[in-house]
Structure 1
Amino acid sequence: MSQILEYASWIYPSEDIGEICPVFRKHFTARPGAAAKLEITAFGVYEAFLNGQRIGNFFLAPGWTSYPTRLQVQTYDLTALLREENELTVTLGKGWFAGRISAGVYQALADGPRLLAALHLTDADGTREYATDESWQWAESPIRFSDIYDGETYDARVTPENWRFCRTDSCGKQMLIPQEGEIVTEHERLKPVAVLHTPKGEMVLDFGQEITGYAEFTVQARAGERVLLSCAEVLDADGNFYTENYRSAKSRIEYICRGGIQTGRAHHTFYGFRYLRVDEAPEGWQAENFTAVCVYSDLQRTGWIRTSDPLLNQLYQNIVWGEKDNLLDVPTDCPQRDERLGWTGDAQVSIRAITCTFDGKRFFSKWLRDMAAEQRGDGTVSHFVPNVGLFTKDPALFCGGSAWADAAVICPWQLYQAYGDKELLREHLPMMQKWVEYVCRAAGDSCIWSTGHHYGDWLALDAGEGNYTGASRKEFIATAFYAHSAQLLAQAMDALDMDGAAYHRLFETIRAAHQNAFPDCRTQTECALALHFGLAAAPDRVAAQLAELVRSNGNRLTTGFVGTPYLLHALSENGYAQTAYDLLLQTKAPSWLFSVKMGATTVWEHWDSRKADGSFWSTDMNSFNHHAYGAVADWLYAAAGGIRPGKPGYETVLFSPIPNRRLQRFEVVVNTPHGKVCSCWKWNGPTVTYVLTTPVSAEIRLGGEQHNVAAGTYTFVRGDTTNRRMKQRIF
């Protein structure tokens, strides 16, 4: 970083103030025409102000990274906020660094939040630097408590006073890096759609949509009155407020009022909710003065899907909301309970869908650098990144499981497919190779990976009520992903003009071993993996078996986190597109549309998170905002809509849409690095009309036909083989 931070010292309060968030300040003068720049970061999360005006729009800055080796520094231009006399203030919260979520993992860096900053001022008097040191002052802020899991308490009666000089700490600066990821910021603002009075007599605001963010409210109050709010995703079967699935996360909002009209909001934490219970509020409060503010990484939208089926449209919207809600600086599993971690398994199953809907290049690149930084010497990768050691204070645990740690290979490869950036692929190749080599040693000469801890087909339904890991054999899944990662590594090396022959041979060896060890498939997931990963010795037989497993289960799935992303692909790629649509459009449980019919506004963690009678799967682990099963959007983009990269980064496009008569119309748009790609098909009586738009050369596959075309918009009408015509418009 610049010399400014080289001269800055880490500062913290000179006294122990417990859970209270400190505020730091620095006064300085500036001549007319001055310019100023602030560089700042923290162990914790900060909010900075110059002369009472918020600096930037990064919420929960500096974000969440692997703090021991990677801490982002933000740079802000303060010129427009300057006055002659200036006060820079910064509040500091625990955030991911020192709250309950970190489980004390970062104590070796510092035993509490720390601030590091420097202001560079240039005016007629020259250039001056105001770097954090003992001359900065601190006081208690109105934020009396803040925690990622438990919420925030704000006392508006408190005015910072009794300013004291700071202490400095020698935390080191070797971890400092420039801002890499997309910033987290506020987005949609939602008003309540209903005020509910529950059977228990609770007053509940329904915002009509589950979000990640915070509540903002304006009230008129007497000093000392409180606004006390609780968060929930759902109501129980009787219509009462339900929070048991938040587990130990209190997720409370407490605002202690000063006298008069005032507005409250969160500063150093976030919440996952659709419903707010008003536990306490000043007399005369109005629901219309409450707002749910959505918070997530500032990702550009790149994909859209619209169909003739309202339920399918709602499913797609639920998927998009679930993605946004869980793209808060890292790809989290859920935004509400005492977890909210960057689970690698969830990310690798969803990344194909996410990178169609959003420009995820910068977001995932930053997260993968954290993954590489935390990769152990033996090549193992944590099951959640950053590894905060939530379940144990030893962050060496929860590493190296199949499908989860395979994110080290799958995610970089998918970024290459979506954006075509060879240098980014090259950057991550060492991590990919170290992971495959670790599995190679773990599997040994047999090439069957049967050691270590694995999650199996997490939350599959084929092993009975209450089972977590499903009926698919763990060694079947582990070895299948070993083969898949070896093959992707070989292809990555080929793409980089490196010699990937050894890993191509390794894939073939694992494939033969897998076929020998597992001559039969026993579950939907085993069939899907064998087909999609190219492991089946007799693909036609396995595809027929998969289709029969689906039909015999009433055209319903039984797959969990591992099998679901590949299920529809395995069917449609092997002649069973009709069966894939049977699953997609199924409305009975378990299915994607069952949750839609039950009123979901995001994707559930379990197929049976809520049962038809309104009861719940469990209180133990039951999120209603999990993006993993939203991976089906990948099939909607790539198979139903038929848009795939012909070459990485959509340098060329491959169209291969799959229409179905149960949908009158299907439209897909993907903004690629080379421009907008569109696919639309619509039934008109016995014929289907395709309208396909490409900004680059493309290959179009319709049934047994193939057309190689230049950039342009093309219309095809297909019914029986005697009714064909083609229209073409070149750009």
Structure 2
Amino acid sequence: MKKTSFFSAFFLLSLTAWAQLSVTNLRTENQTSPVGLDVEKPRFSWALTSDKREVKQTAYEIQVKEGKNSVWNSSKILAETSVHVLYAGKSLQSGKRYSWQVRVWDNQGNQSAWSAPANWQMGLLNPAQEFSAQWISSGLKADTAYGIVPQFRKQFSTTKKIESATAFITAKGVYEAYINGKRVGDAYLTPGWTAYNKRLLYQTFDVTKHLQSGKNAVGVRVGNGWYRGELGWEKKTQTYGTETALLFQLVIHYADGSSEKIGSDGSWKVALGPILMSEIYDGEIYDARLEKTGWASADFNEAGWSAAVVKDFTKTTVFAANHEPIRKHETFKPIRVLTTPKGEQVLDFGQNLVGWVNMTVSGKAGDKIVLSHVEVLDKFGNLYFDNLRNAKAQDTYIIMGQGRESFEPHFTFHGFRFVRVEGISGPLNPADFTAIALYSDMKPTGTFTSSNPLVNQLQKNIQWGQKGNFLDVPTDCPQRDERLGWTGDAEVFSRTAAYNFNVNNFFAKWLKDVAAEQYDNGAIPFVIPDILKGTFFGRPVGAAGWSDAGIIIPWNMYVVYGDKRIVETQYPSMKAYLGYMRNEAKNDLWNTGFQFADWLSYRVDDSKGMVGQKSAITDNYMVAQCFYAYSIGLMIKSAKLLGKTDDVNDYENLLQRVKTAFQQEYMTASGRLISETQTAYILALQFDMLPENRRQQAVDRLEANIKSYNYHLTTGFLGTPFLTPVLTRFGKTDVAYKLLLQDTYPSWLFPVKMGATTIWERWDSQKPDSTFQDPGMTSFNHYAYGAVGDWLYRDVAGLDTDEQEAGYKKTIIKPHPGGGLSSAEATFESMYGKVASGWKREGDQLLLTIEIPANTTAAVYVPATSADVVTESGAALASVKGVQVSGTEGAYVVLKVGSGKYRFSAPVGK
């Protein structure tokens, strides 16, 4: 009995020790169980969980297996590293499935159990050789831009027991694949959009469960998509080629150890289908009467189908997709059905979203149901189409006539809140219609809430603007005849984007196209992929704030995710673009060529302006010089990160010369700038362009300017992201809050008050009198001005990371209460786990609640003048384990803490 009790007690103690430390959230190349990686040395990341404070990993051990065979055992490694740990085992093989586990030791004497296994599957490491399949095209005369979508099929048989099956698929166009009538995967608009002539991605799917013993069949539809369809406002088609094509390879492994490949070739059959037209801008026409029931099934009679045409297209530009695809997400039912003054029946889904509508209808064969998509209603309550420009944004379904029929599009998407329905007599039944949001399957990572409902709606609008414009490419807008990867929009929003969602792989994919599309002189095009193909000015050019997305975004991804590889990969491109700017500059002054400058800043003629005010136009070249310095500064940091000492020395000298040139050209002896605008002073202060003894008067001039506009902002795309951060940095957070909470034009909350559910392209896309800005450029889903989200997270809630220990290895908690808010909170799922910072006023106390994940530390700035008045969970700081007082800084007491949850309290204003 005593023996049993002893071992029971020992077992319970052991369980307690295990429970105190465990390993979770295993990721391979920043993904959970990815399929199709072509990374020869993938990186592993994991998070530690513990119920104790100040937990640090001291060692780890990784095991990697292929089946039952070990391919790597790291042995016990004495290191804190738990993010981006590089695989160092045997060479990985194409198509193979691998699993890995990790266990860790901590600084409190605990050893974790082995984690649950995580899996990944390799793609094709040498696709040019390993794709034995052939490119095939339909050869059908009707298969043209604005033409039909062909349907390919291949029948085959299997007699052996199947162990596994993997499909590798891509297309010159967009595809949708089926095996035995079952859709392959849940990704849409694959293979996505890249610089197709240089980088065409394929997807990898585990299709083991799709196959059956005996006869099988593959069916694939291939639409125009971005490859051959209309792109840009000039209605250009065939940007990348004149015909669509399919590359499909199925690899089957049998239980007896043998394998077989089924690849696209001349034996495949092709025919017309029910999709008469499917274009990104114009929408889809689907004639259900032309459906070939069971066309992707094994028993289908393919008599009358023609042979596919084999094409000699290259495979050397084919690479694996290592990022998240576009998938379906939220669904919406109409919140109301309305009849417009014109008598049209319209569904209001309550949210401006991007995707399409699934509908269930019935009628006579040949009846047409037409759905027309718009973002807003005009002041009279009618649909507003003008801002779509040439985009029809219309789906047409022609009824088969056999009872209730369901339809949703395949190879298009729309930006909309309102949908006109034509072809249904009588009242619409809202239950028959569902709006489906489509966007890249980025993991949500950030939340921000406050005591102000309008600010909370602003945050929601920012996130929906990101969802709607992150469809494989960071687009400017999702509704009109544009939807392009404008570099400037992506650059200014990238840090905010990284708070809201995990965009590490999303941007890593897009940045490869930035490098691929870069001109020989180092200039980076304004849109990526570069469908404009224009030099515009007789030669390839770049523009400040746009082209330097190639420098700014890689650094931002490093800061947020600790992803050094993205900087290593992009560094040649980054360096080439800086070289372009140096060549453009004369005597270190970039004052030549085209510049977008502070795009869409305030002008008096916008909404008739504010009484007595003048336009806020900043000198183009002053803006360029500031961004030139910004890029050099980031190149210095990047070169230091990569150990490129020669580049560091070169760039540090260059930066000093560029700032001196700025001061000589754009600043008077007294410190006044030649452009007396908010943006001029913001950029000069943000990038330290002014001598230290001239900065305070610049701050004063900025504040005076803001006051002169009655606390309205007048900034454009490049000034807006830094407006509130600069004010906060220089002790003017009260002014920043006045700007944030301003709700009349121009301001962030003006669109919110007008009923916006996304961010607008212009401060007055819809004017105070409910009329619209120039329809030639008026989008109601355009995320650039949503860059204020960075300040909401970083300064209002106070959640940031230390660049010296990037990726939240060291968190900075520094809230800035104010603006009449009684509370604000932000959370962020970092690579290490959840980070949180929330403050709340309760009587005369300010409560600061934080959470720091295991294996990290934080510097915490508590608003108080003395550590003596600060408590943690009611106890004096001196008695609290895991909290060290570092001193005071301005109006803050600075603390150093380890992992854990903490609740600090201090008297307001003391």
| Shorter-chain TM band | over 0.9
TM-fit CA distance, 1:303 = 0.3
Q: Report the RMSD for the aligned CA atoms in angstroms.
A: 2.1
Provide the residue aligned with 1:308 in structure 2. Answer: 451
Distance of 2:255 and 2:757 partners within structure 1: 56
Question: Closer, same or farther in 2 for the Cα pair 1:178/1:554, shift >3 Å?
Answer: same
Provide the residue aligned with 2:211 in structure 1. Answer: 82
Moved more, 165-174 or 560-569: 165-174
TM-fit CA distance, 1:547 = 1.0
Out of 853, 859, 868, the position equivalent to 1:699 is 859
SS of equivalent to 2:262: strand
Out of 515, 527, 533, the position equivalent to 2:687 is 533
SS of equivalent to 2:722: helix
TM-fit CA distance, 1:276 = 0.1
SS of equivalent to 1:217: strand
For the 8 Å contact 2:227–2:239, the answer to whether it is kept is no
Question: Closer, same or farther in 2 for the Cα pair 1:68/1:466, shift >3 Å?
Answer: farther
Out of 69, 79, 88, the position equivalent to 2:198 is 69
SS of equivalent to 1:64: coil
TM-score by length of 1: 0.95
> Is the counterpart of residue 13 in structure 1 residue 159 in structure 2?
no
Provide the residue aligned with 1:717 in structure 2. Answer: 905
Distance of 2:127 and 2:756 partners within structure 1: 48
Distance of 1:397 and 1:418 partners within structure 2: 36
Distance of 1:488 and 1:87 partners within structure 2: 53
Deviations 1:141-173 (A, max 9, x none): 111001111100001000347310011111211
Provide the residue aligned with 1:478 in structure 2. Answer: 624
Out of 620, 627, 636, the position equivalent to 2:776 is 620
> Is the counterpart of residue 490 in structure 1 residue 636 in structure 2?
yes
Distance of 1:7 and 1:607 partners within structure 2: 53
Provide the residue aligned with 2:655 in structure 1. Answer: 507
Question: Closer, same or farther in 2 for the Cα pair 1:5/1:105, shift >3 Å?
Answer: farther
Moved more, 338-347 or 273-282: 273-282
Distance of 1:104 and 1:313 partners within structure 2: 39
Distance of 1:217 and 1:318 partners within structure 2: 26
> Is the counterpart of residue 671 in structure 1 residue 829 in structure 2?
yes
TM-fit CA distance, 1:719 = 3.0
Distance of 1:413 and 1:354 partners within structure 2: 14
Out of 338, 342, 363, the position equivalent to 1:200 is 342
Distance of 2:427 and 2:679 partners within structure 1: 56
Provide the residue aligned with 1:114 in structure 2. Answer: 245
Moved more, 654-663 or 53-62: 654-663
Distance of 1:385 and 1:599 partners within structure 2: 32
Alignment of 1:296-375 (within 5 A): 296-375=439-518
SS of equivalent to 1:620: helix
Give the residue type in structure 1 aligned to 2:522. G
TM-fit CA distance, 1:14 = 2.3
Distance of 1:366 and 1:282 partners within structure 2: 47
SS of equivalent to 1:29: strand
Distance of 1:393 and 1:214 partners within structure 2: 35
For the 8 Å contact 1:149–1:338, the answer to whether it is kept is yes
Distance of 1:495 and 1:705 partners within structure 2: 31
Moved more, 218-227 or 149-158: 218-227
SS of equivalent to 1:472: coil
TM-fit CA distance, 1:226 = 1.3
SS of equivalent to 2:659: helix
Deviations 1:160-209 (A, max 9, x none): 47310011111211110011221101001110000011111111000000
Distance of 1:712 and 1:140 partners within structure 2: 61
TM-fit CA distance, 1:491 = 0.9
> Is the counterpart of residue 430 in structure 1 residue 559 in structure 2?
no
TM-fit CA distance, 1:43 = 0.6
TM-fit CA distance, 1:380 = 0.4
SS of equivalent to 1:97: helix
Distance of 2:541 and 2:400 partners within structure 1: 49
SS of equivalent to 1:502: helix
Distance of 2:488 and 2:842 partners within structure 1: 42
TM-score by length of 2: 0.77
Provide the residue aligned with 1:214 in structure 2. Answer: 356
TM-fit CA distance, 1:123 = 3.9
Distance of 1:114 and 1:452 partners within structure 2: 41
Provide the residue aligned with 2:187 in structure 1. Answer: 58
Please tell me whether Structure 1 or Structure 2 has the larger radius of gyration of its CA atoms: 2
Distance of 1:247 and 1:620 partners within structure 2: 7
Give the residue type in structure 2 aligned to 1:96. W
TM-fit CA distance, 1:718 = 2.8
Moved more, 611-620 or 31-40: 31-40
Question: Closer, same or farther in 2 for the Cα pair 1:199/1:109, shift >3 Å?
Answer: closer
For the 8 Å contact 1:457–1:470, the answer to whether it is kept is no
Give the residue type in structure 1 aligned to 2:230. R
> Is the counterpart of residue 524 in structure 1 residue 670 in structure 2?
no
Question: Closer, same or farther in 2 for the Cα pair 1:108/1:262, shift >3 Å?
Answer: closer
Provide the residue aligned with 1:727 in structure 2. Answer: none
SS of equivalent to 2:492: helix
> Is the counterpart of residue 29 in structure 1 residue 163 in structure 2?
no
Provide the residue aligned with 1:729 in structure 2. Answer: none
Provide the residue aligned with 2:407 in structure 1. Answer: 264
Distance of 2:700 and 2:240 partners within structure 1: 56
Please, which runs of 5 or more residues in structure 2 have no aligned partner? 1-125, 293-301, 610-614, 864-890
Question: Closer, same or farther in 2 for the Cα pair 1:177/1:106, shift >3 Å?
Answer: farther
Alignment of 1:224-623 (within 5 A): 224-259=366-401, 260-281=403-424, 286-389=429-532, 399-445=541-587, 447-462=588-603, 464-465=605-606, 471-499=617-645, 500-519=648-667, 520-521=672-673, 522-537=676-691, 538-623=694-779
TM-fit CA distance, 1:33 = 2.8
TM-fit CA distance, 1:261 = 1.3
SS of equivalent to 1:75: strand
Question: Closer, same or farther in 2 for the Cα pair 1:20/1:694, shift >3 Å?
Answer: same
Provide the residue aligned with 2:882 in structure 1. Answer: none
Distance of 1:655 and 1:3 partners within structure 2: 49
Alignment of 1:162-181 (within 5 A): 162-181=304-323
> Is the counterpart of residue 40 in structure 1 residue 169 in structure 2?
yes
For the 8 Å contact 2:734–2:819, the answer to whether it is kept is no
Provide the residue aligned with 2:282 in structure 1. Answer: 150
How many aligned positions are there?
720
How high is the sequence identity, in percent, across the aligned residues? 39
SS of equivalent to 1:582: helix
SS of equivalent to 1:403: coil
Please, which runs of 5 or more residues in structure 1 have no aligned partner? 724-731
Question: Closer, same or farther in 2 for the Cα pair 1:32/1:222, shift >3 Å?
Answer: farther
Question: Closer, same or farther in 2 for the Cα pair 1:351/1:46, shift >3 Å?
Answer: same
Deviations 1:68-88 (A, max 9, x none): 111111111221111222121
SS of equivalent to 1:135: coil
Provide the residue aligned with 2:270 in structure 1. Answer: 138
Distance of 1:433 and 1:4 partners within structure 2: 32
Distance of 2:366 and 2:538 partners within structure 1: 47
For the 8 Å contact 1:208–1:274, the answer to whether it is kept is yes
Give the residue type in structure 2 aligned to 1:689. L
Distance of 1:273 and 1:108 partners within structure 2: 26
For the 8 Å contact 2:616–2:678, the answer to whether it is kept is no
TM-fit CA distance, 1:285 = 5.0
For the 8 Å contact 1:664–1:683, the answer to whether it is kept is yes
For the 8 Å contact 1:220–1:282, the answer to whether it is kept is no
> Is the counterpart of residue 660 in structure 1 residue 818 in structure 2?
yes
Structure 1: which 4+ aligned runs deviate by more than 6 Å?
Answer: 102-106, 393-398, 466-469
TM-fit CA distance, 1:482 = 0.4
Question: Closer, same or farther in 2 for the Cα pair 1:672/1:349, shift >3 Å?
Answer: same
Give the residue type in structure 2 aligned to 1:93. G
Deviations 1:666-694 (A, max 9, x none): 01101111121111111123332211221
Question: Closer, same or farther in 2 for the Cα pair 1:130/1:336, shift >3 Å?
Answer: same
TM-fit CA distance, 1:465 = 3.2
